[in-house]
Each structure stands twice: as C-alpha cells, then as structure tokens.
Structure 1
Amino acid sequence: MAPPIPHGRSFTVRGVAVGLAVGTVICAANVYFGLQTGWVSIMSMPASLMGFGIFKLLSRHLSFPFSPVENVLVQSVACGMAIMPLGCGLVGVVPAMTYLLAPEERGPIDLSIWQLIVWSVGLCYFGAVFAVPLRRQVIIRERLRFPSGFSTAVLISVLHGSGRQSQKDLDAAAEGSFASLVPRDEPLLSPEASSPERADDDPEEDPQDKNHNWASNMRLLLLCFLASGLYTISTYFFPILRNLPIFGSVAAKTWMWTLNPSFAYIGQGIIMGAETTLHMTLGAVVGWAVLSPLAKAKGWAPGPVGEWETGSKGWIVWVSLAIMLVDAVVSLAYIALHPIIGKQTTALVTRIRNKIRQSRLGRLLGLDSHNYTLLPNGDGAAASQRVSTDDPTYESPLKGDPEGDAPPDQRVGKKVVSIGLVLSILICVLTTHIVFGNLVPLYATIIAVFMALVLSIMGVRALGETDLNPVSGISKLAQLFFALIIPQSHKSSVLINLVAGAVGALQAGDLMQDLKTGHLLGAAPKAQFWGQIIGATAGAVLSAFIYRLYTMVYEIPGELFPVPTAYVWIFTARLVTGKGLPYMVKEWAIGAGALFAVATLIRTFSAGKPWRPWVPGGIAVAVGMYNVPSFTLARAIGGVFGWYWVHVMKRSNTPLIIIASGFILGEGFLSIVNLILEGLQVPHL
C-alpha cells in the first residue's frame, strides 16, 4: 500500500517569507534587550502566534490553507533569526572586545560592519547542522521532554483548531510516551476542515466562537504591543520613567535602587515565571542591598557604586561569576555522568533483585515466578506475550523505532549532514582567521570549534530535561578550558579567551526546541533544517547591522545599554588568565561558590519535589546580582503576576503568552523609533 500523503506543505516560499518577517521583529528586540540586560529569547510561541495571525488576515487570498506543519516552518525560520544576536556574540563578546579590552590585552578591537557580518556568518551554521544528528538521539530515541517545544506544539495545535487531544494524551506526549501528538498518517487538520467552506460542517464547534476567540486574541496582542511601544517612545522624552526612585532619592542616587516599569521587562518576567524571577530578586537583594554597601563601607570597592572598575557594581560581579561557574560545573557534571551512573545503578539494582528472587526467601515468597501472561485482544485471541522489563537485556520496542520518526524522504540525509558539518566548521575557522588574523592562533580556533561541539551536547541535554539552556555556564567552562592551554604570558591571552568562548554551537539547544515541536506535529525535519539555515543566515546579517546602528548612535556602555554580559565575559577572561582579583573578592567568591554548589546539588536531586522552588537557583541569583535592581524588580512583578493569574485566578496560560509577547515585541521593535530620534538628536524633555 502506498504511504499516506502528508497533509500540508512543510516547505513553502510564503512560509519562509513570513518567518523572515516575524524573525526580523524578534531579532531586533533581542539585540536591544541583549545590550541592556543580556536577556535573549527565541520566543517560539510568539513566533507561531504571529505567523498564524498573518496568514489568518490573508486567508481569503491563499491558494491553499495554512497548515500546522507550515506554521512549524514559520517558527523555525523566525527562531533561527532570533537566536543570532546571542549566537554571534553581539550582546556580550563583541562589546567586550570593542569597549573593555585594554591596550595591553591587544585591544580594543573595533570591527567594521563587514567584519561583523563575516564573523556572524561564520558562527551561525554549525550549531544548526549539529542539531540534526543530536535530534535523532535526544528526541527520537531518548524522547527528552523539551518543555517549551512541547508547549509550542500544543499552541499550534489549538490555533489551527485541532487541539482535540485529551489532557491525558497531552501529558503523555509531554513525558515522551507518544512519538507525536498525532500519527503521521493522520493529519492534525485535514484540507477539508481547514477550508472556510467546510467550517460550518463541524457540529462540535461554532465557527463564530472560533473567529471571535481568534479576533479577541489578536486584539489583545496588538493592544499590548501598542501600549508597550508607546511607553517606550515616551521614555525617550521622559528618561526618568526608566529609573523611578521608589525607595527614595538616597537609595536611588547612592545605591542604584530604582524601578524601570518597562512593559517588556514585565513580559519577560511572565515568561520566566515566579520561581526564576524571585530567585533573581534574591540575588539583587544580596548583591545590591548587602554586598554593595558592605564593599563600599569596608573600602574594598572605594569608587562610586555604579563604576565597574573601582565601584561595588564591578566588585559584586566577581561573586556572581563564581556562582555561575559553580552552578554550571555541578549541573553539567550531573548531566554528563547521569546516563553512565544511571545505567550502572539500574543494572546493579536489577542484579540484586534477581538474586533475591532466586534465593530461598524469594522462592518462598513466590518472587521467582516469571509468568509471561498471554494478553487477550479484542477477539479473545492471544495477542502477544508480556515481556519482563526487569530483564537487563530488555529494550523497549519504542526506542529507536523508525516508525516514531519522519519518513526517510522527509529527513536530512547523512551525506548532507556530513558535508554540512565539515563545511560549517571550515567556514567558522576561515572567517575567524579573516577577522582576527594573527591575533588568534589557528590552532586555538580549531580546538574551540571541536570543544564547542562537545559542550553543546551538554547544553542540549540540559535544555531537554530542564528547559534551561546554560549558555552562560558553558561559555565560562570554555573560557576556563582555554586558560589551561593558552600560556598566560601570551600577549593575546585575554582576546583568545574571549574568541574561544564565543565560538559555540549553543544555538543547537534552542533550535532543538523547534525540532521537538515539528516532531510532535508531524513536520518534515528536512524543511525545518533548511528553514533554520535560511533564518540563521538572515539573522546573522541583520543582527550585525542592528548592532552597528545602536553602537553608532548610543553610548556603549552607557545608562541605557550597560552591556552587563560584556563585563562578565571580560572579567571571566581576566580571572582565568591570572589577571588578578579586587581586594577581598576571592574570599567571598569561594564562600558563595561553596554555598551554591550545595544548593545546585539539592536542586538537581530534588526534581519534582514540591519544596524545590524554595532552593535558590545559581544562574538566576547570579543574573540578579550583576544586573542593576531596576531591571530585576520589573521582571519580579511580571513573574508574580503570572503566578497569581494561573494559581489564584485559575485562568488559562494562553492570554498570558499573548500579553507577554505583545509587551516584549512592542518595546523591542518600537525602540527603533527611539534610535531614529537619538540619531536625529531630538532633545529630551
């Protein structure tokens, strides 16, 4: 029998075009927020929502319906663009080299626009290519959850009117029990059901209610977008709105305790959740209300509080850096060793159990019985034998089952992966040499690329299990590794350390969320792969242009764009290359590192426990410490609001996603208006 014809076109020109349009908005927002706070998000659910909205508006002019698998393509292209500001180092490494690298460290390195583009293009490919073989392992065989990818799949299913799965089925899919939300030969949305002419034939759903829900959601998104955008433009004329002295003028001027009531930061807090934002708030309190006054009073940081070099603002960054490093080492060590230790532990338990069963006590208790019961099928005939899963040789029939993956013609071929991986590595090495010349040895770049591939495996697994991509921790581990192989006496040791840390395949983790979404909805992995490649290319070029625009118009580092992650990068490079620490930082960093090593271990081994959220997360606390309180407090407001909406008001998550998306995209996109006003030197009020 011929294979069923898959519903929907997985790769279309119109889908790519809409994905590029949506990705442009998110990419511009990520450059803006990345330079401000270091926060970057691929925003897969907003991308799917906006793609659906655009095609809904154009539905009367479409030659064929917009299907869920085409929505996956839109999302893949958009997310491939969205991750590029971070993946190309434009919100951390590049500002560090340009503005913070001292002359004795072979700096500053002022890259021209063409150098930025060449550098960005060189970094954008091998993460996407390397995601292909990793997909087979972590999505098809191990069936890791990838919570954001699963949530996006459910959202797309609901948007396209096919969210008819029971909650039990959705939960089972989330846990990896099902290969996909629907069988691949049973489309989520048939052509007839997606056609406007057949909408009235569905007795279970009123088309007017469906259109009303869609229209109300789009109005909510547009309203939040405009509200956030208008607030952003008003902050240009009234800069005080970004730093409200809610705790008094002394706390604001002396200790930098202000509030930036940005709609976008509130939206980011909604997406992050109450647990993460409250842990960030804890970091802000410890850093800015305890350590900062203490360092100032003791004379450890004698300069003004807001100074990075001599003030307590720079002093507490070292402590936060220690927390991030410890959290990364402990978490990634667990992820790397867990499969080995877990298998050995399982085998040991199995052997002990078998010995007990074969012992005299086991025979007395009847534990040695291995009755393989015949299970009747619906006709009363023997269907199959029950296999004892206690047998160490037992392997689930679902594991590695080809039927759980896409058909062979929809997958990316091994030849394409092999050639693509080699070419992407060569491009990365070549472009790095073109941009930095002899400042960065060729062998260092080659080592950095292969180390990035290894570290990205840990990042992908961490994202699949926890929904957190430990980009900061992994990059710091890369810097630490290079400090061991590059002599400290080398004149370019700090620069080499920065470049080596920036060369990474970390976007493979975020792109894996999209591949999880596509797998659940039956999209073709080949279409997603080429969509991600197109999006990454466009995102690399666009990010470089937008970054150059911001650096030409604004003072960086400055009040609006303090680029905190750039300081984290440069401080890490100086630390691991032996450039010295401020007074008394070593003692406090060791203490904080030891404390959070214990906290991270507790969080790691208490997954699923109700009390786990009360144990502070190292990365969240560290981010709250190195960002000024004005950013953190606004995010905490969003996190608490989201918790209240869901747990107290018992409302759906969908409006929250829409509100947060509108808030973030409104400021991120309309900040371009402020950029134009600043370039034209329009006076502030």
Structure 2
Amino acid sequence: MPITAKLPNDMPWESKAALPQVTLRSTIAGLVIGSVILVSNFQFGLQTGWVSMMSLPSALLGFSIFKTLQPRLHCHFTDVENVFVQSVAVAVATGPLAYGFIGIIPAIEKLMTDAESGSESGIDLSQLWKLVTWAFGLAFFGVFFAVPLRKQFIIKEKLAFPSGSATATLISVFHGTTLNVESKIKSPPKQSSSAEEHESHPERPATPNNITIIESQDLCQLQQVETYQTNIKLLAATSSVSSIYTVVGYFVPQIKRIPILGNTISESYLINFQPSPSYIGQGMIMGFTTTAYMMFGMVFGWCILSPLAQYMGWAPGPVDDWKEGAEGWIMWISLAIMICDSIVSFLIIVVKSLTSLYQSSSSEPLSRTGSVDSPHEELERLIDENEVASDEDVLSSTYHGDGSNDHTQKNSSSSLPESDQLSDRSTYVDLDESHQISATVTVVGLIVSSVACVVCTRLVFGPVVPIYTIVTAIILSLFLSVLGVRALGETDLNPVSGIGKLSQLIFALIIPKSQPGAILINLISGAISEAATQQAGDLLQDLKTGYLLGASPKAQFIAQIYGSLFSVLLSAVMYKLYNSIYEIPSQMFKIPTAVIWIDCARLVNGSGLPPKVFEFAIVLGIVFAIISFLKNTVTPNNKWHKYIKFLPSGVPVGIGIYNVPSFTLARFVGGLISYFWLRKVTPGNSDARVRLIIFSSGLVLGEGLFSVMNMLLTSLNVPHL
C-alpha cells in the first residue's frame, strides 16, 4: 500500500470507494453546475469556437454548495462525492462540443448545399428528435472504450494526467484528506518560461479540447481549507460584473463594437474592440503567449491579407461576405495554416506514442512507493512539475515530452526501509474488483453503443450515409483515441482537432469524390472521431482524479453516463433555442468552427478555391508546418530552444485570422492582464494563480449564464436603446 501522511479528516485510501458517491444530491448538484457551464460553452462556442471543461470551478462550486448546506445534511460530504459532482458537471458541460452542436451540426444545417448533402431536398435537422437522436448516437462509445484504457494508462504506466492530478489535489486540500500518490509524478520538461500558460479548448476548434485543459496549469498551494470562501466571493463578484455587462450590452449594443480606429476602418475592415468581460476572462485563462499568437494572426489576416485581397480584386465583395468577401478569403488561409500545424503535430504524437508503447512493453513499469507530501506540498509540487502545456500547445494539438518513462522508474528515497518499497514489477496498487467496471459491461456496452451510433446516424441522415462508412469511422476513432488519450496523459492536451481533421483526410481517400453526399460523409466521420477522443480523454482525466482520492471507478463511470444522458437532451434543446431566437450565422454568432469543418471537407474533396488562395495556402502551410515540427521536436537541451518559443504556433494564429478582430483584441487584453499580474505584480506568488483562474472563470460564467436573459429579451422583442 502507498505510504501516506495522515490528515485529520482522512481514512484509508482503499476504504473510500465504499463511501456513498452516487447520491441524489450529488447528481443534482453536478447536473446544475454542468448546465451553467454548458450554457456558457454554447454562447461562446457559437461565437468563437471556444469551450472549456471548467474542472476547477466545478470542483469549487460543488464543495461550496455542500459546505454551506453541511449543517442540514444527514451524511457528510466527502472528497470522493466531490469527485462525483465534478465528473457529472464536466460530462454535461462538454456536450456542445462532443455532439457537434457548435461545429458539425451548424456546418451541415447552415452551410452545406443540397448537392453536397447527397439529397435533392437537403438535410433537415429542424426537428428536435433528430438532434437528440444524433447526440445520443455519439454520446457513449467513447466512454465505454475509455474503461479498459484506465488500467494501462493510469494503473500500469501511471501517466500524469496533469489536470486530473491537480484537480484531485485541490479537492484533497478542501476536504483535508490524503492523496494516493505512489510516485512523484514526473511530467515532461517545461516548454516555456511563461508561468501563466494553460488550457483552452476551441473547437474545440480544436480542442480548436484541443481542450484541453486549463485549470491544472494554474492551481496553487492553498494555505487553508477556508480559503474557498474567499474564492467563492471572488467568483460571485466577477460573475456579477460580467452579468451586468451582458444585460447592458443588450440595451446598448454599441458597446460591443467600439471603432477604436475610426468608423471608416470599422466599416471597411471590421476592426472593432468589444470590451466583453468574458472574452477578457478567456484571454486571462489562455495566457499571454497564446493571445499574442492570436494577435499576430489577427494583424496578419485582417490588417494585411484582408486589405490586400480586397485591393487586388481577389475578394471583391463586402468584407464580411463568406463567399465573395475578404473574411471568406482569409478563412481558407487560416484553414491551411491550422491543418498543416495539426497534422505535423499529430504525426509527431504518433511517432512518440509508438516509441513510448514499445518502451513500456519491453520494460514493465515498477510499482513505486515513497514518502508522500501533505496535500498542500503536493499541490505546490504538481504546479511546478505540471506546467507543461501552454494554451497554444493545446490549440495546436502539439506534444511536448521526451517520450521517456521517467515516471515508471523506482523511487530512490532513502527515507524508507527497503522492505517498504515494493519491488515486484507485476504489482500495481488498485481498488478492489467490486468497484471496477466489469469486462462484460465494457464489451457489451461498447458493442451496443457502437450499434446505436450506426442506427442513430442512419435515422437522422438516411441512406445517403452508407453503414460501412459509419462502422469504419467508429473503428478508426477508437484507434485514434488511444493516441489522443496518451498525449493527454503525458502533456495535458487532447489533440481532438488534429484527430478530427486527420479523419477527414482519411475519408477523403476512402470515399470517392463522385459519390453523392461525400461532403456529408466526410463531416460525419470527423464528428465521430472527435467525439470518441474527447469522451475517452475526459473520462480518463476524471478517473485519474478519482484514483488519487480513492473514488470508485464504477461511480465515476455512472457519473459520466448520467451527465452524458442529461447533456444529450439539454444540448439539443439549447441548440434549438438559439436557432429559434437568433439568426445563425450572423454578426453575433458567426459559427467559425462550422465554417472550418465545412471548408476542410470541401478542400479535401477537391472543391475550387478563390483566386490566389492556393498559392498563399501552400506557402504559409509549409511555413507553419516547419514551425510546428521545430516546436515539437527541439528539446530544452538544444541551444536554439529558447528562441523557438517566439515562433507563432499555427492554430492560435489561425484562430486569430478566422475570428473577427473584436474577439481577439479582448482576449489579448486578458492575456496582458494575466502577464502583468503573474509576472510583474505577484511574481512567485502561487496563490495569485488560482485567484486569477477564479477571477477569469467568473467573468466567463457570468456572461455565459446571463446570455439566457438576453435570449428571453430577444424572444420578447424588447427594443434596444
């Protein structure tokens, strides 16, 4: 058994799995918290393609709710029940991305032509039952597939899963319990000197999940459990400010488009500033480096390429016209940059993952034990060691690691007697089998959920999508998700965007371009791959959190099922609600992720390009492919490594190009605030990091939640001022 330092509220690690976890109160709390985050993710996903798991706010809100209600509770709220709440919330919150409601579905419904759909009458997704059926088909096969990966990646290889590890440590600090840390989890070497860098999840666009995952990179050592009260007050205050702005913005929409360079530039090139607290908060979460890359993309795309295309007659229409205007023209450049960056990064992930698998198979990992720090010390150590993936790494699905298995080497701590150090290479510490998901449930569930995916897809899209293509997409997605999960475990990023685009490329080779519905089939294949990879990664992160705290894997699996079932319905309803109240696409909801998906499908299927796009795309694609290769292969030991970080990563640059300037400028302001707060105002103050995340999360959640109020005002035709 692991050696631990007992804390006042602690109990044996192996006994915690038997504690009540799947309770009505924890389920309701998780669903409510997840719903709040889902609404926020829908708002910003349709606007900018950006979503987040929000693991830290979920854990914090769950603890605060039951801490407040504790005097009235008959049963004590434990750390493992806190894990269940957080797992349910995350499963609900990521629905808009997992089921394609911010990307694939809008691309099919809003942007795809009847000819591309393979049906004379087009694809009708206006009925709610079709949206629910589609989401249900994608909701579970990735979850079942994640179950057998737990033993390999968490128990045997002991991959770090930095977000899951740090979230577990935060919960342990709140509850005053001890982590089951069998080893000093060693993360890949740091790739950047920027202390504030962490996850976002555009498309994720990807990821765009690849959202990952922001919270783990900025957790800090909390001095006392009572500090949660300060954090809750901070979250409430910033949420209130953001909420007020949201409502005021409805009545005074001019504050959302401030012409900082004059009305002429604003009207001609769409260069405005939107002082949205939520976008500033997103920039604070992303960090300075990523927002700086996005700013570079914005300047390059909107201040150089857009005027050039318009002046040269390559994009003669209004600048905001997707087909004839500069916005549509530079979108292709953005797509080329992101595809080249993602594919190169993904290929490097494949090579390093295969190398790591070969090394782990040739040398079984040791079960390590050693002295364990207190949760306070452990959390500080996790921060120091797990700052491995900056936001641009997540966005571009890059891999930063040396491929080594340092975490599998035996602890050489001399403070323990030799008899206390397990040397049996076949021994792995895990919970009793009664708390595990059985092999029968896993196999049957995987088969049934895969069949459900085939049936649901056919029900929604009809015979234009052949059954063999759906089956092929499912099988391919399972193989690709293994690589995605390994990358997530080692680097804290899940390359869902790269995997989705790779799936599109593969299906462009499998499906003849002349086949009716080739574009539709291409989009569906990408959706299936992205869903499987995201679900498997999300559940593995949660299982890592649960393993460190002693939570029941069976309970966490149930949490994922509960959250997914609820999210299937809520996501479909919210998508219908947005479509019934707002015009989509529009100036407010440009659905950039959907545009990326449909344009990628058209590109790989040989559709024609606007004038001169091909030449620009080739040159810039090669440039950013080289940059991606360098950023993923040059190690910290190389003398040129310190200069590589100044090269802009392709995906954040692409995001800066395809998002309108008002979004990018606000995020850049947030990145600057983050930089000066962490590096200039509070250098070395670890507590300042978590406060920054709480502060920025409040800004995001406030506007996202009160977007429902704006929806109500819009539906009632309340006039603007």
The alignment's TM-score, normalised by the length of structure 1, stands at: 0.84
Which one of 419, 435, 444 corresponds to residue 469 of structure 2? 444
**Which residue matches 2:707?**
671
Amino acid in structure 1 at the alignment position of 2:709: V
Which one of 157, 170, 193 corresponds to residue 172 of structure 2? 157
State the alpha-carbon separation in 1 of the partners of residues 603 and 25 from structure 2.
49
Amino acid in structure 2 at the alignment position of 1:506: T
Tell me, yes or no, if structure 1 residue 506 matches structure 2 residue 518: no
**Cα drift, residue 171 of structure 1:** 9.9
**Which residue matches 1:63?**
74
Amino acid in structure 2 at the alignment position of 1:281: M
**Which residue matches 2:4?**
none
Change (3 A) 1:382 1:82: closer
**Cα drift, residue 559 of structure 1:** 1.0
Tell me, yes or no, if structure 1 residue 237 matches structure 2 residue 251: yes
Change (3 A) 1:234 1:383: closer
State the alpha-carbon separation in 2 of the partners of residues 59 and 248 from structure 1.
56
**Which residue matches 1:657?**
693
Specify the SS of the correspondent of 2:345. Answer: helix
**Which residue matches 2:135?**
120
Which one of 24, 37, 45 corresponds to residue 34 of structure 1? 45
State the alpha-carbon separation in 1 of the partners of residues 88 and 415 from structure 2.
46
| Aligned pairs (5 A) from 1:219-234 | 219-234=233-248
Aligned alpha-carbon RMSD (Å): 2.8
**Max Rg structure:** 1
Change (3 A) 1:249 1:151: farther
State the alpha-carbon separation in 1 of the partners of residues 461 and 357 from structure 2.
45
Tell me, which stretches of 5 or more residues in structure 1 are unaligned?
A: 178-208, 349-374, 386-395
CA contact (8 A) 1:469 1:510 kept: no
Which one of 13, 16, 37 corresponds to residue 6 of structure 1? 16
Change (3 A) 1:214 1:108: same
CA contact (8 A) 1:141 1:399 kept: no
CA contact (8 A) 1:99 1:108 kept: no
State the alpha-carbon separation in 2 of the partners of residues 545 and 503 from structure 1.
21
CA contact (8 A) 1:460 1:509 kept: yes
State the alpha-carbon separation in 2 of the partners of residues 312 and 319 from structure 1.
11
**Cα drift, residue 251 of structure 1:** 2.2
Change (3 A) 1:378 1:679: closer
Change (3 A) 1:251 1:148: farther
Specify the SS of the correspondent of 1:172. Answer: coil
Change (3 A) 1:134 1:607: farther
Amino acid in structure 1 at the alignment position of 2:174: L
Which one of 434, 437, 454 corresponds to residue 412 of structure 1? 437
Change (3 A) 1:643 1:172: farther
CA contact (8 A) 2:243 2:702 kept: yes
**Cα drift, residue 510 of structure 1:** 2.7
State the alpha-carbon separation in 2 of the partners of residues 673 and 382 from structure 1.
63
**Cα drift, residue 221 of structure 1:** 0.9
Which one of 523, 533, 545 corresponds to residue 561 of structure 2? 533
**Higher deviation after alignment, 431-440 or 325-334:** 325-334
**Cα drift, residue 326 of structure 1:** 1.4
Tell me, yes or no, if structure 1 residue 589 matches structure 2 residue 617: yes
**Cα drift, residue 511 of structure 1:** 2.9
Amino acid in structure 2 at the alignment position of 1:538: F
Change (3 A) 1:5 1:455: closer
**Higher deviation after alignment, 5-14 or 582-591:** 5-14
State the alpha-carbon separation in 2 of the partners of residues 499 and 127 from structure 1.
15
**Which residue matches 2:90?**
79
Which one of 631, 642, 645 corresponds to residue 674 of structure 2? 642
CA contact (8 A) 1:147 1:174 kept: no
Change (3 A) 1:4 1:532: closer
Which one of 136, 139, 152 corresponds to residue 151 of structure 2? 136
Change (3 A) 1:397 1:442: farther
**Which residue matches 1:261?**
275
**Cα drift, residue 176 of structure 1:** 9.8
**Cα drift, residue 157 of structure 1:** 2.1
Tell me, yes or no, if structure 1 residue 312 matches structure 2 residue 312: no
CA contact (8 A) 2:176 2:225 kept: no
**Cα drift, residue 680 of structure 1:** 0.5
State the alpha-carbon separation in 2 of the partners of residues 378 and 588 from structure 1.
61
**Which residue matches 1:88?**
99
**Cα drift, residue 210 of structure 1:** 5.1
| Aligned pairs (5 A) from 1:91-106 | 91-106=102-117
Amino acid in structure 1 at the alignment position of 2:676: Y
**Which residue matches 2:633?**
605
Amino acid in structure 1 at the alignment position of 2:334: S
Specify the SS of the correspondent of 1:6. Answer: helix
CA contact (8 A) 1:376 1:382 kept: no
CA contact (8 A) 1:101 1:109 kept: no
Which one of 35, 43, 62 corresponds to residue 54 of structure 2? 43
State the alpha-carbon separation in 1 of the partners of residues 105 and 697 from structure 2.
28
Tell me, which stretches of 5 or more residues in structure 2 are unaligned?
A: 2-11, 190-222, 363-411
Change (3 A) 1:157 1:340: same
**Higher deviation after alignment, 241-250 or 136-145:** 136-145
State the alpha-carbon separation in 2 of the partners of residues 560 and 677 from structure 1.
15
Specify the SS of the correspondent of 2:184. Answer: helix
State the alpha-carbon separation in 2 of the partners of residues 435 and 621 from structure 1.
36
CA contact (8 A) 1:149 1:516 kept: yes
State the alpha-carbon separation in 1 of the partners of residues 550 and 664 from structure 2.
39
**Cα drift, residue 677 of structure 1:** 0.4
**Which residue matches 1:196?**
none
CA contact (8 A) 1:236 1:684 kept: yes
**Which residue matches 2:379?**
none
Specify the SS of the correspondent of 2:185. Answer: helix
**Cα drift, residue 232 of structure 1:** 0.7
CA contact (8 A) 1:275 1:639 kept: yes
Tell me, yes or no, if structure 1 residue 326 matches structure 2 residue 340: yes
Amino acid in structure 1 at the alignment position of 2:505: L
User: Cα deviations across residues 285-321 of structure 1 (Å, max 9, x unaligned)?
Assistant: 1111111111111111111111111111111111111
Change (3 A) 1:576 1:46: same
State the alpha-carbon separation in 1 of the partners of residues 129 and 336 from structure 2.
36
**Cα drift, residue 163 of structure 1:** 7.7
Amino acid in structure 2 at the alignment position of 1:466: T
CA contact (8 A) 2:353 2:486 kept: no
CA contact (8 A) 1:284 1:629 kept: yes
Identical positions, percent: 45
CA contact (8 A) 1:72 1:517 kept: yes
**Cα drift, residue 593 of structure 1:** 1.2
Change (3 A) 1:400 1:530: farther
State the alpha-carbon separation in 2 of the partners of residues 413 and 384 from structure 1.
31
Amino acid in structure 1 at the alignment position of 2:115: E
The alignment's TM-score, normalised by the length of structure 2, stands at: 0.80
Which one of 451, 455, 462 corresponds to residue 426 of structure 1? 451
CA contact (8 A) 2:187 2:490 kept: no
Amino acid in structure 2 at the alignment position of 1:97: I
Amino acid in structure 2 at the alignment position of 1:297: Y
**Which residue matches 2:496?**
471
Which one of 563, 566, 589 corresponds to residue 561 of structure 1? 589
CA contact (8 A) 2:179 2:549 kept: no
| Aligned pairs (5 A) from 1:196-207 | none
Tell me, yes or no, if structure 1 residue 548 matches structure 2 residue 576: yes
**Which residue matches 2:203?**
none
**Cα drift, residue 622 of structure 1:** 1.3
Specify the SS of the correspondent of 1:670. Answer: helix
State the alpha-carbon separation in 1 of the partners of residues 635 and 68 from structure 2.
43
Specify the SS of the correspondent of 2:486. Answer: helix
- Count the aligned residue pairs: 613
